[in-house]
Amino acid sequence: MPVAAYLNNMPVLGDRVFVHPSSQVIGDVHIGNDCSIWCNAVLRGDVNRIVIGQGSNVQDLTMVHVSHKTPEKPEGSPLLIGDYVTVGHSVILHGCNIGNECLIGMGSVVMDDVVIPDHVMLGAGSLISPGKTLESGMLYMGRPAKLVRALTTEEIAYLHYSAEHYMLLKNNYLNGPQK
C-alpha cells in the first residue's frame, strides 16, 4: 500500500490526488488538491511533517524527508512545498521550504533549512547546502548551486505551465483508459 500511517499519523490527501502504486507516502504528510506523486517516490513524514500545496508534482525516484525536533531546534526541519511546484526526477528534498511555482531540476539535492522563494528554477543536478536562502525570480545551477541570472517572463510562465502539464497527466491516470 503506497499510503501508510506512522504511529498515529496517517497521510491526508486532497481532492483529485494521484499517488502511483509504486510510491510510498508515510506518516504526517498533507498533500493538496490536484497533486501527483509519481513512480517510486518516497515521502516519509515520520519524525516531522511534510506539506505539499495544490497542483504540485513529485516525480519518479524522488526522496522527500524531514529532520526531527530537538531541544535546540524545537520545530526541527519540516518539508514545505508550495503550490504549482514541479519536483523533477531523482531529487532529494530534506527539511526545506519551497515556495510557489518553482521547478526543482532532476537530480538536485536541497538540504535542511533551505528557503527557496516563489518563482525559482533550480537547474538539474544542483546542490543547495543547509540554511541557504535563495532569491525569487532567479535561475540557480551547480554543485554548490550559484545564482546564474534572472528568469525571463517566459520562464516564469513556464513554471506554472509545467505544473499544469503534470495535472493533465495525473488526470489521465486517474480517469483510466479512454473508451
Q: What is the pLDDT of residues 128-176, one digit of tens each?
A: 999 999 999 999 999 999 999 999 999 999 999 999 999 999 999 999 8
Look-up of cell digits 520562464: 155
As a whole number of angstroms, the distance between CA 8 and CA 28 comes to 9
Calculate mean pLDDT across residues 1-17.
95
Could you tell me what percent of the chain has a pLDDT over 70?
A: 99
Long-range contacts formed by 41-48: CB under 8 A, 24+ apart: 43/11, 45/6, 45/9, 45/11, 45/79, 46/6, 47/76, 48/76, 48/77, 48/78, 48/79, 48/95
Judge: domain 3-175, CATH 2.160.10.10: yes
pLDDT given at position 1: 64
The confidence band for 42, taking pLDDT boundaries of 50, 70 and 90, is very high
CB distance 49 to 67 below 8 Å: no
Look-up of cell digits 506539506: 51
| Those residues with Cβ within 8 angstroms of residue 43's Cβ, 6 or more apart along the chain or in another chain | 11, 23, 24, 25, 26, 29, 31, 37, 50, 52, 58, 64
pLDDT given at position 82: 98
